[in-house]
Amino acid sequence: MIYPIIPKPQKITTGDTVVFTLTKYCEIEGADKFPKAINSLKKFLAESFSLELLGTGKEKIRFELCNEISADEGYTLSVKADEVIIRGRTEAGIFYGIQTLKQMLMYGDLSLCSAEIEDEPAFPYRGFMLDSGRYFFTKEAVFTFLEIMALHKLNYFHWHLTEDQGWRFQSEKHPLLTEIGSYRSHTNFNSVPHSGYYTKEDMKEVVEYAHALHIKVIPEIDTPGHTVSAIAAYPFLSCFDRNMVTATKWGVKHDVLCVGKESTFEFMQAVLDEVVEIFTDGIIHIGGDEVPTTRWELCPHCQKRMKDEGLKETSDLHTYYLSRIGNYLRDKGMEVIMWNDRVKDYMPDSSLCWQFWNTDMDKKDIEGEIKKGRSFIISPERAYYLDLPYGLVNLKSCYEYDPYIEGLTDENKHLLKGVEACLWAEFVPDMEKAGYCTFPRLGAISESAWTKKENKSYENFSERLDGYYKHIKAININHATLKQAIPTGIRKTASTLYWERRKLCWGGLENLITNSKIQKMYGKKDK
Ligand code: ACM
Ligand code: ZN
């Protein structure tokens, strides 16, 4: 039989006769040594089959550590008469063996044919990003995403916590960030206010929940752009101390942090000190995407900073800011990630990892950064952005995107840490839409993250989708049907048009009006 396991294990052989049926009498050997693995199995059995293990029968599931498995997260799984044996080099390996077993049990309604599996991940970094900035997702919704990540063998939860449209990280030193910045008076398509933030206790719970699933949490505090919510709370953070409200519309904003004032750095560093205390995995994302220089051109503080630091172009303030914040965090022992927005002569230190979303860059520039030793994570907009409609990124193109970008050689391919699926949320207001956007594309991306390139095939992946849908439906989360996920004809056009309606609520016109007002007030006057 073919087990429809997603992501596909590297090696799997199976028989055609049932040799093992899990009942409540099944005994687990080694359970006390691997609490995370056993808890994941017990939760699955309780939720999907209302089954509680009593452990007195002859069938056994055995967990064992095994040094012969070379990869840290690797495992073997063997199904024989009345016995399932899962071996891992570490508990993480055993945990991933359990994720595979859950899918096999779901497919076989608790009965298993004989099987031998040898498995390990293609990439050490297998990420999923949730944008809680645009829409607030409850702590419970975050737990659901974490469970789903584990099932897909994903191990880094990137939590986008701040945006123009909402600041979700509670700061004790700067309470207005959430008191003012977590609220917007309306959203794109309706006039209903939207708000919400995570308390420190909430975020600690999320970190704890993630750790129980072998997931590390990377908070993102996106600066110096995408900061209108922070400026609404503390106007001095902007050039010209602008009085603003948290953004209600979609689109890149021109009001960004003032890089000239020292007070901006003092403020942000104090916030980041609080962030580092809560998120204990030693990794942080500092954003750095989409930063117009319009205000910096006119701001006397920013112009003075350029002069003092010998910066040639206004856009060099972008690098100056990211370098300073990056170094501050690196000196605290943090690994730092940023979006890959620009390549210039003056770039942040190559120890800052690039999250690669902008694929429009010149190949030579990318190669240059690779030569410098910059590591990167692949999240191309036109393949791994889950908010994009299926008409633009269908399941097949999502699956077939090759993360091994040009410029990588055998000597430097270790710089490619892995891949990440990004669920941006400006047009994803609830779990229903989130589920629709995410499934089945997350299955495709998880296979690019876990399964080695030589073992991937879209045809084979499609044959496993029935089993995948069975599992997703059992989790009780929304999903796109196969017809929706690979739309053709009118369905494809409709999907794209529905997406393009966002242009109706783009803040571009507002930007033009404001920019001209600021130019009049602060621009150089012609004599
Ligand atoms: C991004 O999509 N602006 C990272
Ligand atoms: Zn300024």
Q: Helix, strand, or coil here: 277?
A: helix
Within 193-334, residue ranges assigned H as helices are 200-211, 228-233, 262-278, 294-298, 300-309, 316-330
Q: Considering every ligand atom, which ligand is closest to the CA of 131?
A: 1
- Paired with 62 in beta bridges are 29, 85
Phi, psi of 219 (to 5 degrees): -80, 145
Q: Are 31 and 474 a contacting pair, CB within 8 Å?
A: no
Ligand 1, residues 164, 286, 289, 428: which to mutate, most atoms within 8 A of Cβ? 289
The two three-digit tokens of residue 346, written as one number: 């003056």
Specify the pLDDT at position 527: 43
- If one counts every other C-beta atom within 10 angstroms of the C-beta of residue 145, the result is 25
DSSP 137: P
Angle, alpha carbons 166-504-493 (nearest 5°): 110
Nearest to 255, CA basis, from 234, 230, 225: 225
Which residues form ligand 1's pocket by a CB distance below 6 Å?
289-290, 339, 357
Pairing of strands 166-167, 162-163: antiparallel
Q: Rounded to the nearest whole angstrom, what is the distance from the C-alpha of residue 357 to the centroid of ligand 1? A: 7
The Cα 339–Cα 237 span in angstroms is 22
Question: 409 C-alpha vs ligand 1 centroid, how far in Å?
Answer: 27
Nearest CA to ligand 1 atom 2: 357
- The CA 224 to ligand 2 mean position distance, Å, reads 11
pTM above 0.85, yes or no: yes
Query: What pLDDT does residue 350 have?
Result: 94
Mutate to test the pocket of ligand 1, among 130, 162, 339 (most ligand atoms within 8 A of CB): 339
Weakly modelled stretches of the chain, pLDDT under 50 = 527
Distance 420 CA to ligand 1 centre (A): 13
Tell me if 250 sits within 8 A of 133, measured CB to CB.
Answer: no
Neighbours of 462 (CB within 10 A): 16
Q: Which residue lies with its CA nearest to atom 1 of ligand 1?
A: 289
| Other CB atoms within 10 Å distance of the CB of residue 276 | 16
CA 287 and chain centroid, separation: 13
Distance in Å, CA 523 to ligand 1 centroid: 30
Query: CA of 268: how far to CAs of 94, 315, 331, in Å?
Result: 40, 20, 15
Tens of pLDDT, residues 323-332? 999 999 999 9
Beta strands 216-223; 283-287: pairing state: parallel
DSSP-derived letter for residue 4 is -
Query: Which residue's CA is minimally distant from atom 3 of ligand 1?
Result: 289
- In the reported structure, the alpha carbon of residue 287 is separated from the centroid of ligand 1 by a whole-number distance in angstroms of 8
Full 3-state SS string of 487-516: CCHHHHHHHHHHHHHHHHHECHHHHHHHHH
Buried b / exposed e across 402-440, counting CB within 10 Å, b at 16+?
Answer: ebebebbeeeeeebbbbbbbbbbbbbbbebebbbbbbbb
Ligand closest to CA 242: 2
- Nearest ligand 1 atom to alpha carbon 385: 2
Q: Report the alpha-carbon distance of residue 346 to residue 318 in Å, rounded.
A: 10
Cα 127 to middle of ligand 1, angstroms:
15
Q: Cα(83)–Cα(59) distance, rounded to whole angstroms?
A: 6
